[in-house]
Amino acid sequence: MKKLTALLLCLIVVMPVFAKNDKDRNEFSITYGQYTIPQFAYVMGGVLGAAFTAGHFSFENPHLIGVAGVEYVHYVNNWLGFGGAAMCDYMTATALSVDSNGNKTPNGKFQLGVASVMPVVKFAWLNRPHVGLYSKLAAGGGFAFTNGGEAKDNFMFAFQATPIGVDFGGERFRGFVEAGVGMQGIANVGVRWLF
């Protein structure tokens, strides 16, 4: 199985060198997303923290700021592109201790940020002058940083699976909407420059 995986990875890297590209095409995107994997982990951490401390710990006033990032893709032919994405997700809440009488004592602001970098593979299903339809996969690494509780700074696996994305607009500048799961969120929007 390891040999097959290594062979497939080599083909993914080597095949673009031999692929014919009728029209050299690049994309640079500025993105914003919500409902990311770190946001779900953050919310679940608050729920589980309250459950495992018998209600003596909780989060209040959570603010899921969202994930902002940039992405670059170079197409090696009319339907296959390779590139990379970098993004930062950020959220805050007030950490509280709860005594047996239900009185809440603020413990300060809890902040969680995740910076991620991922290589991207993009598949263009439709590429017209004013509209495009595509899918993409990405996997890489992230660094989580916090300022509160027992959480420690650590590295994490980062990914994004986007089964459907649509871009629309002019031949050079477009807006886009994507639906997927991962570090860029379930809902991801932005602007794109094609050159």
6-33 pLDDT per residue, tens? 444 444 444 444 444 456 899 999 999 9
How far apart (Å, rounded) are the C-alpha atoms in residues 152 and 141?
A: 16
pLDDT band at 52 (very low <50, low <70, confident <90, very high): low
The continuous run of DSSP H or E covering 162 comes out as strand 154-169
Q: According to the model, what pLDDT value does residue 109 have? A: 81
125-142 in b/e form (b: 16+ CB < 10 A) is: eebeeeebebbbbbebeb
Within the chain, where are the H helices?
2-18, 37-52
Q: Which of 24-28, 104-108, 178-182 has the lowest mean pLDDT?
A: 104-108
Contact 140, 158 (CB under 8 A): yes
pLDDT above 70: residue 50: no
How far apart (Å, rounded) are the C-alpha atoms in residues 59 and 76?
A: 47
Tell me which of 19 and 160 has the higher pLDDT. 160
Domain ranges (residues) in the chain: 32-194
pLDDT band at 108 (very low <50, low <70, confident <90, very high): confident
Token representation of residue 72: 């670059």
Contact 61, 94 (CB under 8 A): yes
In the CATH scheme, what architecture does the domain 32-194 have?
A: Beta Barrel (2.40)
Give the pLDDT confidence of 54-99 residue by residue, as tens digits. 555 667 788 889 999 999 999 999 999 999 999 999 988 887 777 7
Neighbours of 96 (CB within 10 A): 19
Within 30-176, where are the H helices?
37-52
Neighbours of 172 (CB within 10 A): 9
Q: List 140's β-bridge partners, or say none.
A: 158
Q: According to the model, what pLDDT value does residue 153 have? A: 60
pLDDT above 90: residue 187: yes
Q: According to the model, what pLDDT value does residue 102 have? A: 72
If DSSP codes are grouped into helix, strand and coil, which group holds residue 115?
strand
Comparing C-alpha atoms, which of 8, 146, 28 is closest to residue 81? 28
Give the pLDDT confidence of 124-152 residue by residue, as tens digits. 999 898 999 999 999 999 988 887 544 45
Span 36-54, average pLDDT? 68
